[in-house]
Chain A
């Protein structure tokens, strides 16, 4: 009596037979859960769709584990070995003769570059975000600045590299080195820090600002002592996210930092040339010597650990932010 449109349609068509088979299969599956009714076409579709999207999640996360497995299976011999450049020596010694030593130069180089980038990029972007959120009214200026930050975030890293090369190295005459590389990375940090700071500032309730202004505080004092302070965990998250991102950048550094098998000793000139982990991994992997191929994997593990630690710290800071404000 209750023949649905579904059933009528199913019996007629060719494709309907496939559905009958599928739905009977589905019915048997579900029968284990205590049902006796044959599933309708739509119920089968629902189940198939859910299985399909679950499978897609599996496809998305699988490469991550394959990648970790590869890095660990090859890089581990460097981490636990006791030859030159293995074990602790991997992160505590310079490459030395025939590059048999560790990657200390790259670790120091990446650290120096990130410090320079942070020192330049963070104040600029935090002040910019404070301007947008606290001092500007919604309008053309704000839209333009926000659009600028978004465009900057989308520019390919190699374009930053080429720009750093022609503007900083050639036009300004800064030469290769830590300063040029750090500045190039600073340009890349600005959008991330700026937009996350802005988000964090937006989340500060306006009642907090009003409370401070009602006490007779100036806008300036309110902004820096109350608003920015309340938004600090979010700002820290933004900074850490940006640091994690630029830490792994290779392309902007190829034409801006030079390379160095020792440690940098100055801020300008050839003494300031630095190595970096991504660049070192790249040059090792392109080297035919087998032990350098292995070293590339262990250096990649070191870089991955550094990036993931920064990322976890960033998440930790922002979770605390949301918990405190919500």
Chain B
């Protein structure tokens, strides 16, 4: 038996090392392999992609956690969603009054914004000369960009005095209108009407531009088919184009509904923030977003009070999720029946 020489041993070692190194470098090279980069990219990008969902889950968790104390307490409980009295000093946390206020303001806003907005969109997409259309679309897009605090400022300094000094006197002195129950005064201008109107003004740009897009994506051939049957241009616009675009327009309406309920600053400044349910357009009211804005700062150190405010936020959050889901379903069903979205 012959002992290996030192040289042979060294050679064997170096061969082993180099083999090892080669397999390592091959492995490294394989890491650089396109498939691996793609896998890394896929995983690395998946995490940011989930941010949106993560934030929603976090918001829901924290709102739930924060509103638990009032929903499980003796003085609160789930009944607070229907109770109309809000007086934290007496442990009365009825947030029904805010839900009612939000409903009234949103109702007024949609009642104004829908007919006007869809009519304006029909004009823009069907009858408007193209130069004028470009100008109008630009103005409407600018209107959508105006911050809500600026609308609020205008509503606070112009619209509220206008309602107090012009609208209400005109209504109350008109014998045809003065007896109508939901037009009773008196008013100092801060009213559900003011909140609803400024909301309508803020919603209109979105309603108009989304509806206009939906109407314009209806193929020309449908319009021509209708005209060739002897329909007038306005009959075509209403019965064919608007109808074909209805799912898209419907989605726009639901989304604007969500925005109306969630709008904060402008409404806060003009509704008068009175803790009563409005029975007349000229009555003041208090909406959900306003109560959070006005009281969260003070309520911070009172667990139940704070918790009740977070319960309001939870309602807002759940409503907005519902509106988005409804809009999605509308679009999905629309594509299924062959309408244009």
Chain A–chain B contact at Cβ < 8 A: yes
Taking beta carbons and an 8 Å cutoff, which residues of A are in contact with B? 42-43, 45-46, 49-50, 52-54, 56-57, 59-61, 63-64, 66-67, 70-71, 74, 123-125, 127-132, 135-136, 144-145, 147-163, 165-167, 171, 187, 190-191, 194, 218-220, 223, 244-245, 247-251, 254-255, 278, 281-282, 285, 293, 296-297, 300, 303-304, 307-308, 310-311, 315
Q: Would you call B328 and A124 a contact (CB within 8 A)?
A: no
B108 at the interface (CB under 8 A from A): no
In this complex, what residue of B is CB-closest to A191? B52
Could you tell me the distance in whole angstroms from the C-beta of B198 to the nearest C-beta in chain A? 9
Q: In the complex, which of the residues B62, B124, B258 contacts A166, with contact meaning CB atoms closer than 8 Å?
A: B62
Q: A162-B292, A307-B145 are in contact. Are A60 and B117 (CB under 8 A)?
A: yes
Mask, B2-42, CB within 8 Å of A = 1, is: 00000000000000000000000000000000100110111
B324 at the interface (CB under 8 A from A): yes
Q: In the complex, which of the residues B119, B124, B153 contacts A281, with contact meaning CB atoms closer than 8 Å?
A: B153
Mask, B150-175, CB within 8 Å of A = 1, is: 11111011100000000000000000
Q: Would you call A70 and B293 a contact (CB within 8 A)?
A: no
What are 25 A-B residue pairs whose CB atoms fall within 8 Å in the complex?
A49-B238, A50-B127, A50-B234, A54-B123, A56-B115, A57-B119, A60-B120, A70-B158, A147-B324, A151-B56, A153-B324, A154-B262, A156-B289, A158-B262, A159-B320, A162-B292, A163-B313, A187-B55, A248-B149, A249-B148, A250-B148, A250-B149, A278-B147, A282-B149, A311-B145
How far apart sit A281 and B53, CA to CA, in the bound complex (Å)?
A: 33
Q: A127-B49, A135-B41, A219-B37 are in contact. Are A52 and B119 (CB under 8 A)?
A: yes
Tell me which residues across on chain A come within 8 A of B304, comparing CB atoms.
none
Tell me which residues across on chain B come within 8 A of A161, comparing CB atoms.
292-293, 296
Size range of the chain B interface in the assembly: 35 or more
Q: In the complex, which of the residues B38, B122, B310, B324 contacts A53, with contact meaning CB atoms closer than 8 Å?
A: B122
Q: In this complex, which of A53, A130, A150, A219 has the most chain B Cβ atoms within 10 angstroms of its Cβ?
A: A53
**Contacts A60-B205, A66-B158, A154-B320 known; 16 new A-B pairs at CB < 8 A:** A53-B127, A54-B127, A56-B123, A61-B143, A64-B142, A131-B49, A136-B49, A145-B50, A151-B320, A152-B55, A154-B258, A162-B63, A223-B41, A281-B153, A308-B145, A315-B141
Q: Would you call B150 and A281 a contact (CB within 8 A)?
A: yes
Interface of A is mostly: helix
B340 at the interface (CB under 8 A from A): no
Top 3 A-B pairs ranked by shortest CB distance? A248-B147, A156-B262, A131-B45
Q: A60-B208, A255-B297 are in contact. Are A220 and B62 (CB under 8 A)?
A: no
How far apart sit A123 and B44, CA to CA, in the bound complex (Å)?
A: 12
